[in-house]
């Protein structure tokens, strides 16, 4: 049982529900290579984590929170403080999935030592299991440095959103032979450096298949291929909370429309004084 504290259920909506189940581990995720596909979704809050956790093998506290939660134009402005706060919330709200936290732009690229300091801070402040960082061959020494010092690392190759200013946008990667070969080489370098899994994002499908066949660790696709060892989506995209989403997203619900309708009904009842009704007010005691 991972929950080691108790909240007053009479006052806290975020009370975690302890369950007699052992949280998955990073080695358990790595052993899933080539077996049952891994399920990963992003989560940024306690309540979202509570709802997604029973269905996921991993919860990713993605730096996509910059756009999804804070309305920023990209992931570049996201800070360690943001990641630590949301990471801790997701860990508190989960008991089953491995929680992975994105290393934000600028927190790891300068040196392996900088990366270790940032990653150690995230794991200490959140109790998460692992970190994720973007980049291929250039970041392989950093991946090795972290893993050799007890910090599990998930890699990320292909379309790397933190490099949007260099890439010039969010289009699919690997359409030229040279770029395809570079992405495969990046993935191999990160895997050989010790990454326990690798996210492959926004690449033409043959690249994802080639990487999955070439590396010993699981691959997690997003805009990649069903042949990857697992899949990840931004939870809010999957739930239909945004009008515009990447073409590789499948919407499994339309929560935006449902929330809009509920808010409209609430507003109408307030204006007509139908709410609150007898069931929502306190009557005098006899």
Give, for all 286 residues of the chain, the pLDDT tens digit. 344 444 555 556 665 555 556 899 999 999 999 999 999 999 999 999 999 999 999 999 999 999 999 999 999 999 999 999 999 999 999 999 999 999 999 999 999 999 999 999 999 999 999 999 999 999 999 999 999 999 999 999 998 767 666 665 556 776 899 999 999 999 999 999 999 999 999 999 999 999 999 999 999 999 999 999 999 999 999 999 999 888 899 999 999 999 999 999 999 999 999 999 999 999 998 7
Q: Is 201 a catalytic residue?
A: yes
Q: Supply the DSSP symbol for 279.
A: G
pLDDT of residue 62: 97
pLDDT of residue 246: 85
The span from the CA of 105 to the CA of 162, in Å, is 6
Q: What are phi and psi for residue 147, nearest 5 degrees?
A: -65, -35
DSSP symbols for 179-208: HHHHHHHHHHHHHHTT-SEEEEESB-HHHH
- Using alpha carbons, select from 134, 120, 145, 142 the residue that is nearest to residue 62: 134
Superfamily of domain 26-238: Phosphoenolpyruvate-binding domains (3.20.20.60)
**From the annotation, which residues make up the binding site for Mg(2+)?**
63, 102, 134
The span from the CA of 103 to the CA of 114, in Å, is 11
Q: Supply the DSSP symbol for 20.
A: S
Q: Are 158 and 136 in contact (CB under 8 A)?
A: no
For residue 264, what are the contacts with CB-CB under 8 A and spacing of at least 6? none
Residue with tokens 């940032």, as numbered in its chain: 118
**Could you say which of 179, 192, 201, 205 is catalytic?**
201
**Burial grade of 126 (CB within 10 A; 0-12, 13-18, 19 or more):** buried
**Cβ-defined contacts of 220-226 (< 8 Å, 24+):** 220/38, 220/40, 220/58, 220/154, 222/248, 223/159, 223/172, 223/247, 223/248, 224/158, 224/200, 224/248, 225/200
- Using alpha carbons, select from 256, 263, 260, 258 the residue that is nearest to residue 237: 256
**Burial grade of 2 (CB within 10 A; 0-12, 13-18, 19 or more):** middle
Task: Identify the bridge partners of residue 130 per DSSP, sorted by sequence position.
Answer: 100
pLDDT of residue 1: 36
pLDDT of residue 14: 64
Q: What are phi and psi for residue 84, nearest 5 degrees?
A: -65, -45
So where are the chain's domains? 26-238, 240-278
**From the annotation, which residues make up the binding site for 3-methyl-2-oxobutanoate?**
63-64, 102, 132
pLDDT of residue 210: 97
pLDDT of residue 79: 98
The span from the CA of 18 to the CA of 95, in Å, is 7
pLDDT of residue 172: 74
């Amino acid at each position: 049982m991972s929950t080691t504290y108790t909240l007053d259920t009479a006052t806290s909506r975020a009370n975690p529900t302890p369950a007699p189940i052992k949280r998955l581990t990073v080695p358990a995720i790595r052993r899933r290579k080539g077996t049952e596909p891994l399920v990963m979704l992003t989560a940024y809050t306690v309540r979202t984590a509570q709802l997604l956790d029973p269905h996921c093998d991993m919860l990713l506290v993605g730096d996509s929170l910059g756009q999804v939660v804070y309305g920023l134009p990209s992931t570049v402005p996201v800070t360690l403080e943001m990641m630590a706060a949301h990471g801790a919330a997701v860990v508190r709200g989960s008991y089953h999935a491995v929680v992975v936290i994105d290393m934000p732009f600028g927190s790891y690229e300068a040196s392996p030592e900088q990366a270790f300091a940032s990653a150690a801070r995230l794991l200490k402040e959140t109790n998460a299991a692992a970190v994720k960082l973007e980049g291929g061959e250039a970041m392989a020494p950093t991946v090795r440095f972290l893993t050799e010092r007890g910090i599990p690392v998930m890699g990320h190759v292909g379309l790397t959103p933190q490099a949007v200013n260099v890439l010039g946008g969010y289009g699919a990667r690997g359409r030229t032979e040279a770029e395809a070969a570079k992405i495969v080489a990046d993935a191999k370098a990160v895997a050989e450096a010790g990454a326990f899994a690798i996210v492959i994002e926004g690449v033409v499908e043959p690249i994802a298949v080639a990487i999955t066949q070439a590396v010993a660790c699981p691959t997690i696709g997003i805009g990649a291929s069903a042949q990857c060892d697992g899949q990840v989506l931004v939870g809010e995209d999957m739930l239909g909370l945004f009008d515009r989403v990447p073409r590789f997203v499948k919407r499994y619900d339309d929560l935006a429309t449902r929330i809009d309708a509920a808010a409209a009904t609430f507003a109408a009842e307030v204006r007509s004084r139908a709410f609150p009704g007898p069931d929502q007010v306190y009557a005098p005691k006899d």
